[in-house]
Each structure stands twice: as structure tokens, then as C-alpha cells.
């Protein structure tokens, strides 16, 4: 159970199982459905809503207000009485925005500064409109054990409130035209996206195809992470996505689709990047992990984001350091960077000592972008007599 607003709204204590049972008997709604409404903070609908409201004497709108599930009708009514509502709630919601003194960085490079501490406290010491690109990969509230000992098992409502707090700070820190990317499970990003929609401009929900859990009975196999992409203001200052190689059979490098007469229409510089990324492998093998037990992200992912949404010299900020993937990629790509990690930072420092091998890796990845076939694929296709941009052009020239 993660929420308790439903029972609270009905005046029932969730700790009192008998009270829940009595309400089930009085309303005619089965106990397990009542627990479901409470656990997922879902307002009942249809017959259950009628039954719950008549047994409790709470009206549907009052129930929605008490559960914090507001539809556009309620929002419209609240807006029309905004001054009265504000007067009523002002003392509960208006907190002066705490500013904290800047603290010394625990690690510094030519281009970046790493702070150790709680991201909210550090962000509160940073100036508004100062960052060009933000990437955030927070804990997912999955009961994971992090070296920082952070509580990764918050109630859903508390987790989302925490996310809203740092997301609000991210929006404040972003320069007009700056870009923001939030990495999370689809379940959480549906909520975070709803929060961001009223503040920044939605660009994309990018599905990154990585299987992140084992198959769950009764559910679809979770196969993508959500990468939210927003910008501040009407459009991003920087947007240059790489073009990707055409997908071919990994074994024989033959076409996976029939391009028929369209081969000569294929751009030799590669295909347009879509909002579904299929080519980002998870960092699973311990040999490649820079930090034991961490859910470290792939260098390829950060390279793609930083390349797409920032220029050399821009400031990249990531409030959740982990093993420091963002910082290292930013440094290699000549961006300035600001980082924060609550837990130990020695893994990040160690990673910077081995930065050359990671730079080589990025160079290798980048060699495969912005051409229709990778060098390796092109060689194999030539050997096998499969079409290439050159061969198609030659054939076309011959035909004219
Ligand atoms: C999912 S990991 C980030 C992994 C990182 N993207 C990488 O590639 O290595 C989240 C990190 O956020 C840190 N963290 C959790 N709560 C934090 C907070 N309030 N302030 C700063 N860091 C926090 C955790 O200790 C953990 O290392």
C-alpha cells in the first residue's frame, strides 16, 4: 500500500481493518476493491463511486478534492475563485524559497565541479537561469540499496512530492532555451511529465528499449525506460541529433526491410533519429561497471543526449551523480559540468583517472554515426555484393 488518501477522505483509519470491513459491508463495495482505491489513489468510478459516496456522505467532487485527483472541471472552478482559494491556502503552501550558501566542491576538473550532499540543498545555492542542459537519473523508489543509504522505498506520494521539489529547482536553474532530460520508469514519468507540462515545453517521451525487470505474470514485459525531454520556453537553443546507421541484420548485414526503389532516396548520412532508441545496451556486466551494484547508465546514452542538446562550453548539470557517467561524458565532450552525489564520490574520482579509455570508447561510438552504414557493415556489404550508397548511385548513373 502506498497511498492513504482514499480512506482518509472517507474518515476511515487505514490501520483499523475492522473499520474498513464495516465500510465495505455498509457500502457494498468489496474490501479488496477499497484497498485498491486506497493503495493506488484511484477515485472509484461507476457503481462503486455511487456506493462509496452514499455510504460516506462525501460527494464525488469532495472525494476528488480530498484525494488530490483534480480534473479540468475542478481546476476551472478553482481558477475562477483563485483569489479566495489563495487566501485560504496561502499559509500552508507559501514557503520562502530557501537559499543556501555555496559549499566547496569535493572534486574539481578543468571543466567541472562535483558537490557532495543533498541535491536540493546544493541546487538552492545555484543561480537561476544558469544551466544549458540538465540530465537527471534519480533513484526509482524500488527498494534498492545505494551506497549513499538513501531511502529508496518512500510512499508513492512522498516520492512524487520529492521529485516535484527537485524538478522545480531544475526548471529554475535552466536557462531560457535550455533542455532537460529526466530518466525514469514509465510509471513515475507519467506523473513527473504531468508536473512539467505546466512549467516547461514538452519535446519528446523517448522510449529507450532496455528490458529492466523480469517478466511479471499478468503484465506486459517491461521493455523500455522513459526519457522525458523538455525545454524552457518555445524551442531549445541547441538541437542537433545525430543521424543513425540503417538497421541491418547483425549476423549477415543484409537489409531488414525491403527498400525497393527507395534505396537512392536513403540519405548517405544516415537515418533520422526517432523517439524510440533501440541501440542503447544496459551496463550489466560487472567488468564494465564503474561502481559495484550501481545502476550506472551507458556512456552511449549520455553522449547522445549531450551531443543533441548542448554545445562545447555549455553547462551540463546532473543532480544524481551515481558513478558520474554524465560528468565524464561532459568533460570528454568539452562541456562544463556541475554534479552532486549524496553518497561516496570515490568511484566518480576513480573514473576520471581512467578518462582516456572512456574517451576512446566515445570516439569509437561516434565513428558509427552520421553515415548510412557503419565502416564494418559497409566493408561486409561490399564483399557480399549488397547495395551501398555508392553502388546505387553508380547504377542510377548507368541507367541515365
Ligand atoms: C540511479 S543513480 C544515478 C546513476 C548515474 N546516472 C550513473 O550513470 O552512474 C542515483 C544516484 O543518486 C544519488 N542520490 C539519491 N538521492 C540523492 C539526493 N537527494 N541528492 C544527491 N544524490 C542523491 C544516489 O546515491 C545514487 O548514486
Whether residue 118 sits in one domain with residue 67? no
- Cα separation, 34 vs 24, in Å, equals 7
Beta bridge partners of 183: 227
What is the average pLDDT value for the chain, to the nearest integer? 92
Span 134-177, pLDDT tens digits: 999 999 988 776 677 776 666 888 899 999 999 999 999 999 99
DSSP string, 28-58: ---HHHHHHHHHHTPPP-HHHHHHHHHHH--
Position 292 scores a pLDDT of 60
Span 376-394, pLDDT tens digits: 999 999 999 999 998 988 8
Q: Is residue 25 part of a domain?
A: yes
Establish whether residue 325 lines the binding site of ligand 1, counting it when its CB lies within 6 angstroms of any ligand atom.
Answer: yes
Whether residue 50 sits in one domain with residue 121? no
Closest Cα to residue 380, out of 253, 290, 255?
253
**Is residue 313 left, alpha or beta, with left meaning phi > 0 and alpha meaning psi from -120 to 50?**
left
- Cα separation, 17 vs 314, in Å, equals 56
Q: Is residue 11 part of a domain?
A: yes
- Cα separation, 221 vs 208, in Å, equals 14
Position 293 scores a pLDDT of 54
Span 292-334, pLDDT tens digits: 655 789 999 999 999 999 999 999 999 999 999 999 999 999 9
Q: Is residue 143 part of a domain?
A: yes
Establish whether residue 169 lines the binding site of ligand 1, counting it when its CB lies within 6 angstroms of any ligand atom.
Answer: no
Span 357-374, pLDDT tens digits: 999 999 999 999 999 999
Whether residue 75 sits in one domain with residue 143? no
Q: What distance in angstroms lies between residue 325's CA and the mean position of ligand 1's atoms?
A: 11
Whether residue 135 sits in one domain with residue 89? no
- Cα separation, 184 vs 386, in Å, equals 40
Q: What distance in angstroms lies between residue 147's CA and the mean position of ligand 1's atoms?
A: 9
Nearest CA to ligand 1 atom 26: 322
pTM to 2 decimal places: 0.92
Position 313 scores a pLDDT of 98
Percent of the chain clearing pLDDT 70 (strictly above): 94
Q: Is residue 391 part of a domain?
A: no
Who has greater pLDDT, 195 or 395? 195
For residue 29, the enclosing domain spans 5-93
Whether residue 137 sits in one domain with residue 74? no
* Final residue in a domain of this structure, among 31, 62, 93: 93
Q: Is residue 309 part of a domain?
A: yes
Nearest CA to ligand 1 atom 12: 320
Q: Is residue 333 part of a domain?
A: yes
Establish whether residue 328 lines the binding site of ligand 1, counting it when its CB lies within 6 angstroms of any ligand atom.
Answer: no
Who has greater pLDDT, 197 or 398? 197
Is the pLDDT at 190 greater than 80? The verdict is yes
Is the pLDDT at 102 greater than 70? The verdict is yes
> Which residue among 164, 297, 322 has the greatest number of ligand 1 atoms within 8 angstroms of its CB, and so is best to mutate?
322
Q: Is residue 395 part of a domain?
A: no
| pLDDT band for position 291 (cuts 50, 70, 90) | low
Whether residue 121 sits in one domain with residue 85? no
Beta bridge partners of 181: 135, 229
Establish whether residue 130 lines the binding site of ligand 1, counting it when its CB lies within 6 angstroms of any ligand atom.
Answer: no
Position 285 scores a pLDDT of 55
Quick one: three-class SS letters along the chain? CCCCHHHHHHCCCCCCHHHHHHHHHHHCCCHHHHHHHHHHCCCCCHHHHHHHHHHHCCCHHHHHHHHCCCCHHHHHHHHHCHHHHHHHHHHHHCCCCCCCCCCCCCEECCCEEEEECCHHHHHCCCCCCCEEEEEECCCCCCCCCCCCCCCCCCCHHHHHHHHHHHHHHHHHHEEEEEEEEEEECHHHHHHHHHHHHCCCEEEEEEEEECCCCCCCCCCCCCCEEEEEEEECCCCCCCCCCCCECCCECCCCCCECCCCHHHHHHCCCCCECCCCEECCCCCCCCCCCCCCCCCCCCCHHHHHHHHHHHCCCCCEEEECCCCCCHHHHHHHHCCCEEEEEECCCCHHHHHHHHCHHHHHHHHHHHHHCCCCCCCHHHHHHHHHHCCCCHHHHHHHHHHHC
User: Taking CA 325 as the corner, what is the angle to CA 322 and CA 326, rounded to the nearest 5 degrees?
Assistant: 100
Whether residue 119 sits in one domain with residue 69? no
Contact 3, 41 (CB under 8 A): yes
Nearest CA to ligand 1 atom 3: 322
Q: What distance in angstroms lies between residue 297's CA and the mean position of ligand 1's atoms?
A: 11
Q: What distance in angstroms lies between residue 294's CA and the mean position of ligand 1's atoms?
A: 9
Is the pLDDT at 114 greater than 60? The verdict is yes
What's the CATH number where 363 sits? Answer: 3.40.50.150
Establish whether residue 322 lines the binding site of ligand 1, counting it when its CB lies within 6 angstroms of any ligand atom.
Answer: yes
Position 139 scores a pLDDT of 95
Q: Per the structure, how many domains does the chain have?
A: 2
Q: What distance in angstroms lies between residue 137's CA and the mean position of ligand 1's atoms?
A: 7
Q: Is residue 220 part of a domain?
A: yes
Whether residue 179 sits in one domain with residue 86? no
Establish whether residue 148 lines the binding site of ligand 1, counting it when its CB lies within 6 angstroms of any ligand atom.
Answer: yes
> Which residue among 117, 136, 143, 320 has the greatest number of ligand 1 atoms within 8 angstroms of its CB, and so is best to mutate?
320
Whether residue 206 sits in one domain with residue 75? no
Which grid coordinates belong to 171?
A: 526548471
Q: What distance in angstroms lies between residue 128's CA and the mean position of ligand 1's atoms?
A: 22
Query: Ligand 1: which atom is nearest the Cα of residue 183?
Result: 6
Is the pLDDT at 226 greater than 80? The verdict is yes
Establish whether residue 295 lines the binding site of ligand 1, counting it when its CB lies within 6 angstroms of any ligand atom.
Answer: yes
- Which of 144-153, 207-216, 282-291, 297-306 reaches the highest mean pLDDT? 297-306
- Cα separation, 388 vs 37, in Å, equals 58
Whether residue 148 sits in one domain with residue 48? no
Position 211 scores a pLDDT of 82
Whether residue 327 sits in one domain with residue 203? yes
Average pLDDT estimate for 45-74: 97
| pLDDT band for position 1 (cuts 50, 70, 90) | very low
Establish whether residue 67 lines the binding site of ligand 1, counting it when its CB lies within 6 angstroms of any ligand atom.
Answer: no
Whether residue 140 sits in one domain with residue 77? no
Amino acid at each position: 500500500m502506498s497511498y492513504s488518501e482514499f480512506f482518509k477522505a472517507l474518515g476511515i483509519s487505514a490501520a483499523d481493518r475492522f473499520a474498513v470491513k464495516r465500510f465495505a459491508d455498509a457500502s457494498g463495495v468489496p474490501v479488496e476493491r477499497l484497498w485498491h482505491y486506497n493503495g493506488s489513489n484511484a477515485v472509484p468510478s461507476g457503481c462503486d463511486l455511487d456506493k462509496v459516496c452514499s455510504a460516506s456522505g462525501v460527494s464525488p467532487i469532495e472525494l476528488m478534492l480530498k484525494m488530490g485527483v483534480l480534473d479540468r472541471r475542478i481546476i476551472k472552478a478553482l481558477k475562477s475563485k483563485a483569489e479566495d482559494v489563495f487566501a485560504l491556502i496561502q499559509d500552508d503552501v507559501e514557503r520562502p524559497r530557501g537559499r543556501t550558501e555555496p559549499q566547496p566542491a569535493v572534486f574539481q576538473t578543468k571543466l567541472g565541479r562535483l558537490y557532495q550532499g543533498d541535491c536540493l540543498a546544493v541546487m538552492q545555492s545555484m543561480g537561476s537561469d544558469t544551466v544549458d542542459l540538465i540530465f537527471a537519473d534519480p533513484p526509482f523508489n524500488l527498494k534498492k540499496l545505494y551506497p549513499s543509504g538513501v531511502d529508496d522505498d518512500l510512499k508513492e506520494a512522498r516520492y512524487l512530492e520529492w521529485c516535484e521539489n527537485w524538478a522545480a529547482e531544475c526548471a529554475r536553474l535552466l536557462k531560457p532555451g535550455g533542455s532537460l532530460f529526466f530518466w525514469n520508469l514509465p510509471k513515475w514519468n507519467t506523473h513527473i511529465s504531468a508536473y512539467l507540462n505546466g512549467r516547461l515545453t514538452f519535446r519528446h517521451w523517448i522510449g529507450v528499449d532496455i528490458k529492466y525487470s523480469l517478466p511479471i505474470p499478468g503484465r506486459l514485459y517491461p521493455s523500455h525506460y522513459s526519457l522525458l525531454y523538455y525545454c524552457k520556453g518555445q524551442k531549445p537553443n541547441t538541437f542537433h541529433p545525430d543521424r543513425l546507421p540503417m538497421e541491418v541484420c547483425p549476423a549477415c548485414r543484409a537489409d531488414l526491410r525491403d527498400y525497393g526503389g527507395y534505396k537512392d532516396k536513403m540519405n548517405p548520412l544516415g537515418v533520422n533519429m526517432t523517439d524510440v532508441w533501440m541501440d542503447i545496451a544496459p551496463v550489466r556486466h560487472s567488468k564494465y561497471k564503474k561502481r559495484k551494484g550501481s545502476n550506472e547508465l551507458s556512456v552511449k546514452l549520455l553522449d547522445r543526449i549531450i551531443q543533441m542538446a548542448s554545445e562545447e562550453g555549455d553547462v551540463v548539470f546532473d543532480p544524481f551523480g551515481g558513478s558520474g557517467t554524465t560528468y565524464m561524458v561532459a568533460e570528454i565532450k568539452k562541456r562544463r559540468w556541475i554534479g552532486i552525489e549524496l553518497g561516496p564520490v570515490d568511484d566518480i574520482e576513480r573514473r576520471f583517472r581512467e578518462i582516456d579509455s572512456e574517451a576512446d570508447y566515445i570516439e569509437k561510438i561516434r565513428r558509427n554515426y552520421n553515415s548510412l552504414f557503419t565502416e564494418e557493415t559497409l566493408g561486409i556489404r561490399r564483399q557480399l555484393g549488397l547495395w551501398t550508397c555508392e553502388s546505387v548511385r553508380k547504377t542510377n548513373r548507368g541507367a541515365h
